[in-house]
Amino acid sequence: MAKVSTDVPAEILLAKRVQEMVMNDEEPAAQYKCRTDKDDAEDDNDDPISSSPIPIIDLSFLSCSEAGEVATEQELVKLKAALSSWGCFQAVGHGISNILLNEVQRVAREFFGQPMEEKQKYGKTVVDFEGYGADPVPEEGQSLDWSDRLFLSVKPEDQRNYKLWPTDPESFRAILEEYTKEIEKVTGMVSRAMAKSLDLDENCFLRQFGERSQLQARFNYYLPCKRPDLVLGLKPHADGTGYTIIMQDEVGLQIRKDDKWFKVPKNPGAILVLMGDQMQIMSNGIFKSPVHRVLSNAKRDRISVAMFYTPEVGKEIGPEDGLITEESPALYRKVKDYADVHIGYYNKGLRSIHTAQV
């Protein structure tokens, strides 16, 4: 990524919320300006979902026996194709009600809509992960993201720091707890389906994730920007997770494929399942962890909620034995706490998957 000049230290800028800069009608500081590409300037049109090339997978075909064997088999083939090419899919038939999805968006919107003093009760410093604020300070010269966020550990339950969970809106905690339960069911469905699509024992990935697998919720608030052509809501990156489940209320997220950016369409009711590096490792490179980014918009704001699903702390993961043959040897070695390695590279604007290569 292009290096940016640093006239004001990033620590100082990151201590201030993007929302404050927008309210004060400030121009983005140099460190936020990272875009030079003209190829993909503004991507604000609301194309119909049917014209989006990002695959749609119906999870109900994969998890219920009534769907019929042929339908299940066909959906598994689609799933494998989607994850081997795009590394993500729009999931429908996931079992989460539209009412709950709307409630999650509502509490997120209400939280970010409160006065700054209220939100600062959950404020984090520029080095912490959890709480309300910006990502921790990246390496010098890396650009900053035009967004604010609230990051919370939700699983295992004993890792929850309820002091950082907003009490206003009052229903925030109950809604996030309910959403966590639903997302856990989805991770069960998706992990089993992915294994079956590769002709593996259906529980093999769940075993790798472990009994104390982690879920972290990241509520992202993307503010409008006067100069969307210069900044990004979130810089290009691949996730260090096993996989990530994202819901969005507006377009903005783009996936990189074949050297082009593709917009994730506004598809109410659908959630995006996106592979992280650790699923690329466990699938021995069959599933791809795609680079993605979020654009800024001149007029609109955007809320997204990303649920990061990651193997248990301290647990070794690696390519599934059933995928290793003489013709297809292991491409990755076993790794432990890969997300910690990933974050170091992420802060430098780099990918980390090579560190796991054999």
In one letter, which amino acid is 54?
I
Structure tokens of 160?
């929850």
103 or 239, CB closer to Fe ion? 239
What does the binding site for ligand AKG look like in residue numbers (CB under 6 A)?
Answer: 218, 220, 234, 239, 246, 248, 253, 292, 294, 304, 306
Which option in Fe ion, ligand AKG, none does residue 220 bind, with CB closer than 5 to 8 A by kind? ligand AKG
Q: For 77-83, which contacts have Cβ atoms below 8 Å and span 24 or more sequence positions? A: 77/197, 79/193, 79/194, 79/197, 80/197, 80/198, 80/286, 81/55, 82/55, 82/57, 83/194, 83/197, 83/275, 83/279, 83/283, 83/286, 83/287, 83/288
State the nearest-atom distance from the C-beta of 358 to Fe ion, in Å.
26
Token pair 């292991």 is found at 330
- Nearest-5° angle of CA 70, CA 75, CA 78? 130
Q: In residues, how long is the chain?
A: 358
CB of 353 to Fe ion, least distance (A): 14
Give the helix/strand (H/E) hosting 151: strand 147-155
Taking CA atoms, 90 is separated from 230, 248, 284, 288, in Å, by 28, 11, 23, 15
Please choose which of Fe ion, ligand AKG, none residue 29 contacts, taking the beta carbon within 5 to 8 angstroms, the exact cut-off set by kind.
none
Nearer to ligand AKG, 75 or 135 (CB): 135
Least distance between Fe ion and beta carbon 60 (Å) = 26
Residue closer to ligand AKG by CB (options 214, 248) is: 248
Which residue, 192 or 302, has its beta carbon nearer to ligand AKG?
302
- Interface residues with Fe ion (CB under 5 A) are 239
153 contact, one of Fe ion, ligand AKG, none, CB 5-8 Å limit per kind: none
Q: What is the DSSP string of 210-245?
A: -TT-EEEEEEEEE---S-TTT-EEEEEE---SSEEE
Q: Which residue is nearest to ligand AKG (CB)?
A: 304
Question: Minimum distance between the CB of residue 224 and ligand AKG, rounded to whole angstroms?
Answer: 15
In whole angstroms, the minimum distance from the beta carbon of 241 to Fe ion comes to 8
The residue at minimum Cβ distance from Fe ion is 239
Q: How far is the CB of 234 from Fe ion (least distance, A)?
A: 7
Q: How far is the CB of 239 from Fe ion (least distance, A)?
A: 4
What is the Cβ-side half-sphere exposure of residue 118, based on CA atoms within 13 angstroms? 10
Angle between the N-to-C axes of helices 172-197 and 98-112, in degrees from 0 to 180, rounded to the nearest 10: 130
For ligand AKG, the closer of residues 191 and 304 by Cβ is 304
Return the number of the residue (196 or 293) whose C-beta is nearest ligand AKG: 293
| Cβ nearer to ligand AKG, comparing 205 with 309 | 309
